[in-house]
A = this chain, B = another copy of it.
Amino acid sequence: MLSSLKRLIIGRPLRTEQLQEEKLPIWKALPILSSDALSSVAYGTEQILHVLAPIGVLALWYSLPISGAIIGLLTLLILSYRQIIHEYPGGGGAYIVSTDNLGWFAGLIAGASLLIDYTLTVAVSVSAGTDAITSAFPVLHNHSTLISVFFVLLLMILNLRGLRESGTIFSFPTYLFILGMLGLVLVGLGNVAVHGIPADVPPVTHTFPVGLTWFLLLRAFSSGCSALTGVEAISNATPAFRKPETKNAARTLALLGLLLAVLFGGTSMLAYLYHITPSPTETVLSQIAEETFGRTLPYYYIQGTTALILILAANTAFAGFPLLASIMAKDKFMPRMFASRGDRLNFSNGIIVLALAAIGLIVAFEGEVERLIPLYAIGVFLSFTLSQTGMVVRRWKQRNPGWMRKLAINAAGAVVSFIVLLIFAVTKFTEGAWIVVLVIPVFIFAFYQVRKHYEAVAEELRIDIATDKPEKKDHVIIIPVGGISRVVRNTIAYAKTIGDDVVAIHVAFTEEDAEKMEKKWEQWNPGVRLVVTRSRFRSVNGPVLRFIDMVQERVGDNLITVLIPEFIPRRWWQRFLHNQSALWLRFLLLLRKDVIVSTVPFHLRK
């Protein structure tokens, strides 16, 4: 029954041969690989305004230079990642690039950051997607956590089924979103061009208004950098492109950079011109769309495609997390279960763990995007820094023709990413970044412990097949019996089958019972010795364990088998009607060395 339910939800198992990758043309790769990056537009501007708006209307103007700086950073990152594409045509995730060039330790830092970030991608994107929905339909606002959890579970199930076959369908939402956002930016700026700048536009200042400090400005900048998350996705997936892979991937990356710059810049500009400030019940993007179109069809189109692309962005983490976990599991840094493919050929354990972790975050932070953001981008920029530093080292080691220019680009990327990382760590530390700063070392410690354990186990289990052969041993069989019945007869028959040295033990609670049992056993004469012990504490397991200890002491290195007679009722609920002492005894015996426990089942027919 359980397995047919599983089949209904997950689908029927696939054969190993069916594992093959579809090669993507640019038009299909762009939407699939860049939904994470593009969707950040939905919350990037809002995060800047969250810092500036409380200071006052005079601070709002600063959102424009900050957005400019972020677009500059974006350009540098795009250039750096194009380098990685050419250098790692097999896919250059931060874990691989760092391990390859900077060693295991750097690789593990990158791995930890990425696993955390994939989880946060799901939590942030799904929460932001839910915000887009509740902005359009305020009546849903109070249920946003529940809606987010529902979406995560939906993504989990879809991914457990395997999503590849529906790849084409998944490219539509991204194009619809791009189209809608370009329309919004054009119509919005066009309106301003035609009707002139609105009257209440926040004034431009060149001195700091009261309350604005460099610290707050940097914090606003680092919050805005959440718009850059996801730009590394294309360079991770180079082998998925149609030939020529590297060229196509590089082109797609450039295209992504251009789109991201236009949409993010346009959104920030419109937010400024419309004098929009963040609200707890409506997103900044929703306010911009409402200001531009009113609550008409185009408004709902923007909200709908925003929600869709955000959910899709979360979906990219459902591809990335399990893949990275499987690579790290193969390197023995993570539990082996992450490396095994499920019925539908995906890494199902990774998918489930990611979903549960994301749900945990959403519930803990009540699905509030601005509270999740401080945890988010720190890992992203940590992995950016490590990748770029790795590339610098690589360039230096190889010194191929033209290496100096390339090294310079990567070095610039590394330095700038590192600076942003520092800004992040400092300005967001008390708001939640400390959690990540704390968790990464814990993860790295865990990775090492896991590897150490696997190596120790492998060492201990290894045998020399030339000399190390299994040998027959002597053994004693012990059967705890509660009385004389078919179950006991059945167990003794089995005991006689597997050995000659068999002894039964009975625990009596009163002297009278003890004598009765001894007498009845003698009459029955099953060909097996019986030892009767007395228990004044009405406990069976204690005396049985003590008897086994005694036997173990006497036989030394010989094997001891404990056969537990057990009858199995026909229906599951009937189990509650019988003492589960057999189960408990087995559990206690499993902790002992050199004792083999076996339950000899007797299946009831009625």
Contacts and interface: CB of A to CB of B under 8 A. Distances in A.
A516 interface: no
A27 interface: no
A16 B510 contact: yes
A443 to B, nearest CB: 15
A67 B568 CA distance: 57
B17 A536 contact: yes
Interface string A1-27: 000000000000111110000000000
Contacts of A485: 461-463
A504 B492 CA distance: 26
Contacts of A603: 593
B498 A460 contact: no
Interface stretch (A221-229, A239-247, A468-476): A468-476
Interface string A506-533: 0001100000000010011111100000
Contact of A577 (B335, B525, B579, B599): B335
Contact of A489 (B454, B463, B497, B601): B463
A577 B454 contact: yes
A154 interface: no
A393 interface: no
A598 B601 contact: no
Interface string A573-597: 0101111000000000010010011
* Number of copies of this chain that the complex holds: 2
A486 B468 CA distance: 9
A457 interface: yes
A491 B598 CA distance: 13
A36 to B, nearest CB: 30
A598 B498 CA distance: 12
A15 B603 CA distance: 35
Contacts of A527: 469-470
Interface in A463-488: 463, 465-466, 468-475, 484-487
A336 interface: yes
Interface string A320-357: 00000000000000011100110100000000000000
A606 B457 contact: yes
Nearest to A493: B470
A584 to B, nearest CB: 12
A601 B596 contact: yes
A471 B489 CA distance: 9
Nearest to A18: B536
B520 A341 contact: no
A561 interface: yes
Given A14-B537, A16-B538, A596-B598, A465 B493 contact: no
A450 B494 contact: no
B335 A576 contact: yes
A569 B457 contact: yes
Q: Which 3 A-B pairs have the closest CB atoms?
A: A598-B598, A470-B492, A498-B498
15 contacts: A453-B569, A457-B604, A463-B484, A465-B484, A468-B489, A469-B489, A469-B526, A470-B526, A473-B494, A475-B497, A561-B598, A590-B601, A593-B601, A596-B600, A597-B598
Given A450-B577, A461-B567, A494-B596, 19 more contacts: A13-B537, A15-B536, A15-B537, A16-B536, A336-B578, A343-B538, A343-B539, A456-B604, A457-B567, A457-B569, A457-B604, A461-B487, A463-B484, A463-B485, A469-B524, A470-B492, A472-B493, A590-B599, A593-B603
